[in-house]
Each structure stands twice: as C-alpha cells, then as structure tokens.
A = this chain, B = another copy of it.
Amino acid sequence: MVIVTKREATQEQVEAVVKRIEGVGLKAQVSTGEQHTVIGVIGDKTLLGDIPIDSMSGVERTMPITAPFKLASRQFREEPTVIAVNGTKIGGKQLAVMAGPCAVESAEQIVTIAQHVKKAGAQFIRGGAFKPRTGPYSFQGYGIDGLKMLMAAKEETGLGIVTEVMTPHEVELVGEYTDIFQLGTRNMTNFYLLREVGQAGKPVILKRGMASTIEEWLLAAEYILAEGNPDVILCERGIRTFETHTRNTLDLNAVPVIHELSHLPIVVDPSHGTGIRSLVSDMTKASVAAGADGLLLEVHHDPDHSMTGDGAQSLFPTQFETLMRELKPIAIAVGREI
C-alpha cells in the first residue's frame, strides 16, 4: 500500500501515520516529494486490520499495490481450480454447458427441455425455482415444487442441476436438490448468503453483480472461499452501462482478466448478457473464443407460453443444437473440447 498525504500535511501527521504502521510490525518508507509526502507500507498489509489509514488526519488517499483478495488469487494458487460435480469437471479442458429455461414452469416443461439440451450436449439443466424479480407482482417461482420438478428432470436425463438460492435460510433446502448453487447478480453482495453457501459443501456459481467491479466480484468469492468452500465458479452475465439496445453489456474482457487474477473457473451467460435471442449465438461463440470455462444458456421450447419475459432471450432447442455444433471448432481452436 502507498499512502499519499495532503499537501498541507504536517510533520506530526506524517509521523502519526508512520507510527501506526510500525506499531503493527510493518515497515514504513517515507518519500518526500515536491508536493506530497508518500509513505510506502512494506509487509503483509492484513496486519493493518481495521486501522483506518484513509481516515487519518493529513492523509489524502491510499493506493493499494496488491489485490485485497487472497484465497481467490493466482498468487495463492497457481494452477486452475477444477471442480468435479455430477461426473463433469468444470475448469478443465471440457467446457461445462448449463442450459434450460429461466424458470421451472412445470414438470413437463423442465423434463422436455432437459431432454433437448442433454441430447445437444449439455451436462447441466438450469432453471429457477426461486426467482428474484424486480417487482413484487411478478411470478416468483414455484419454490420447493420447482425443485422437485428439477429433480425429476435429473432422474430422467442424468443431467446435473443448477438452480438459484436467494436467502440464507433456504440454502439447506435448495442444497437437498441442486448440484450447484447459483447466486444471482442481485445477491452478489448478500454477504450472509455468501457465507451460508460457503458452508454448504456444494459448488457455487457466483454471478457478477451488474454494477460490480471485477475486484469486488473476487472479494465476494473470497467470502465463500473463506468459509471453507473452494468450489466457486464465477459467471459473467453482463454489466449495466449507458447502452440500452441490449439488456446488459456482456463484459468479455472479464474472462481473460479473471484467468490472470484468479485460479477460479469462469463461465459466461450470453442470454442475460444480451437479452436478445438473435444475439445469443454469436456472443456464445465469442465467450468460448475468449477462454470461458463454460456456458450458462437459456433454452425454451415454447417461449410464447413461458411465465417470465425472459423467453425473449431463450434459444429454441434447434438453435441450441446448431450452436453446440458450431461451437466445436472454436472450442478446439482455443484448446478446449465440447
């Protein structure tokens, strides 16, 4: 960490800062510039704990040199994390494909779609039983009944289950059914939920908050890792920007950035990342080419009768099948398989 003091900072203020730093066993290196005094902190900055350097008199700002996350970082673990679940390895050579409807709407619907996506090569069926909705009057999911329908689809097809959990006290319930917990963009900073899934003993897909920086996202992962759960899968699903033509701006830069900063696998959700069916296939190809470890895709055989507006971004089963075929050479070109 580098501490920049104010131009008008007094000698006493600089010394007070140095004293605080040295008081916890760190080394402080003071450089007196023409306008500002800069204090470099050398050593393990976690020793600083909650000392509010930013708030101290005479301090203008602090600038971090190293990342604030640890367990999630490449420095902590050099080789990529590979997560084995329901017979699939996520984060390895094989791309993980999770596909299905936005919401579980009936046993028939979810089984039908599961059969379609299984045939086309997906390893996981996704679908929401508990749905976070912007307004209170929208369909909020079938809850436990939805979970049972997902289980029926699993029994029918062998596909693993990916489904969302929205609140700490439902982690146990959802965990009885799902293979992978999904934490949605609106819950990336639901810290109690992060901690709870950190103790749940199953892999977690952590979607990026729609206004979260990559650093904040990795800090949210750190909450889960710090509870002892090493199986975190990040999911880029688009961020909020000024552009309104698409529902979100899919930030594919995040894929190689995460691979540089972290050992955790990252999957991409081009369905939410665009919000428009006709864009999904191209952006899925781009996701694979950028190095994604997997895909989260919405597929619906009858969007005209879906129960959420998200049908507008769902692929039809035939589109999904075609896409899976077209992805193959791209996957191979970047050293992957699908």
User: Which residues of A are at the interface with B, using a C-beta cutoff of 8 A?
Assistant: 2, 4, 7, 16, 29, 31-36, 38, 40, 42-44, 46, 49-50, 52-57, 59, 63, 65-66, 68-69, 75, 132-139, 166-169, 186-187, 189-193, 195, 209-211, 213-216, 219, 222-223, 226, 239-246, 249-253, 255-257, 260, 273-274, 278-279, 282-283, 285-291, 300, 303-312, 314, 326, 329-330, 332-334
Contacts and interface: CB of A to CB of B under 8 A. Distances in A.
A317 to B, nearest CB: 15
B244 A239 contact: no
Contacts of A306: 52, 55
B245 A239 contact: no
Given A38-B40, A246-B257, A167 B192 contact: yes
Contacts of A31: 29, 40, 42
Contacts of A223: 135-136
Of listed A190, A216, A283, A304, residue having the most chain B CB within 10 A = A304
B50 A43 contact: no
A136 B199 CA distance: 14
A310 B55 contact: yes
B166 A191 contact: yes
B245 A309 contact: no
Contacts of A44: 34
B252 A286 contact: yes
A290 B330 CA distance: 11
A42 B189 CA distance: 40
